[in-house]
Amino acid sequence: MSDILVVGSLAYDSLATPAGEVDRTLGGSANYFSLASSLYAATKVVGVVGEDYGDDDVRMLTSRGVDVAGLQKRPGKTFHWAGKYGADMNEAVTLATELNVFEHFNPELPPSYKGAKYVFLANIHPDLQLRVLEQIESPRLVGSDTMNFWIHSQLPSLKKVLAKVDVLLINEGESKLLSGKSNAIAAAKEILAMGPKAVVIKRGEYGFVLYSGEGYFVLPAFPIADVVDPTGAGDTFAGAFFGSLAKADVAYDLRALKQACIQGCLLASFTVEEFGVTALKSLTWADVEKRAEIYGAVVTP
């Protein structure tokens, strides 16, 4: 088993969905990712928070064995995002983005982090993602995420990142924007030509598409009838994906990537059942195993 490093945001989110509303619930890509990945392997977090970030929220991570030596606390307020979802809940509408201390985030890795073998660059500025990679000594597997804003505004830097990562995990809308293709399968091929060895296109309730030079792997999402909040499902998927690979201590192996995608689907299915990271905070390995049995029956003829 190898350790995992994630660099991303820690935030408070205000959300409105057809299931209800919540104000300043715990969110951020690094929180979702690490709560999922820590079920599988030791996880280290690099991020920045403000003076308003609760000690209980830090202890939540450490109680799961997450190393927070890379967590910076700065004067000011923590990153805050507000959004709402329509009836189908496939895409959020941003109501407000308050970067606060995240605006000047400079990811500096503690010495103990630089030897991490599994590295995930969550959705941050591509230049910051590159800065992280410059500090890593000899990673075994590097993955990244991005978003529409960076694709529009920082494409040259983003392409530099893509040339250095092994796996890109991206949602379907972003994959189409990045590739210029209107079809997920065609988009996956186009993205692979940009550098990654594999791409995972996350398709919400429709599951995922994994594509590498060795072929495709496609499965539906775990069926959830009452989705409460889809925020962070993709980051949860990524956390379980990397956690699965680190637990098995394998890197680029197609069979292992397929299993990692299955774990991503399972963990994401828990996230969407409650607001924010609520479901992940109390999740146990026994819960995951039970859902794995159900999912096996869903996808096996």
For residue 41, which of 205, 214, 250 has the smallest C-alpha distance?
250
Residue 287 reports pLDDT greater than 70: yes
Nearest CA among 283, 246, 279 for reference residue 43: 246
> By CB neighbour count within 10 A (0-12 exposed, 13-18 middle, 19+ buried), where does 34 fall?
buried
Residues 149, 153: Cα–Cα separation, whole Å? 6
Which domains, from first to last, does the chain contain? 4-299 (3.40.1190.20)
Question: Residue 163 CA to chain centroid, in angstroms?
Answer: 19
Lowest mean pLDDT among 1-5, 25-29, 197-201, 277-281: 1-5
Q: Rounded to 5 degrees, what angle do the CA atoms 169, 213, 215 make?
A: 85
**Nearest Cα residue to 169 out of 61, 272, 33, 277:** 33
Q: What is the per-residue pLDDT across 261-275, written as a single tens digit (0 to 9) for each?
A: 999 999 999 999 999
Distance CA 270, CA 287 (A): 9
The pLDDT assigned to 1 comes to: 64
Contact 67, 42 (CB under 8 A): yes
Report the greatest alpha carbon distance in the chain: 56
Question: What is the per-residue pLDDT across 144-182, written as a single tens digit (0 to 9) for each?
Answer: 999 999 999 999 999 999 999 999 999 999 999 999 999
**How many Å apart are CA 140 and CA 117, to the nearest integer?**
5
| Segment 104-118, tens digit of pLDDT | 999 999 999 999 999
In the structure encoding, which two tokens stand for residue 98, read together? 């308050």
Report which of 246, 245, 249 is spatially closest to residue 258, judged by C-alpha positions. Answer: 245
Tell me: pLDDT of 300 over 90: no
Please report which residue ranges of the chain form alpha helices under DSSP H. Answer: 29-37, 55-62, 126-135, 148-153, 155-162, 172-179, 184-192, 233-248, 254-271, 278-281, 285-299
- The residues near 56 (Cβ < 8 Å, ≥ 6 apart) are none
Tokens of 260: 């990692």
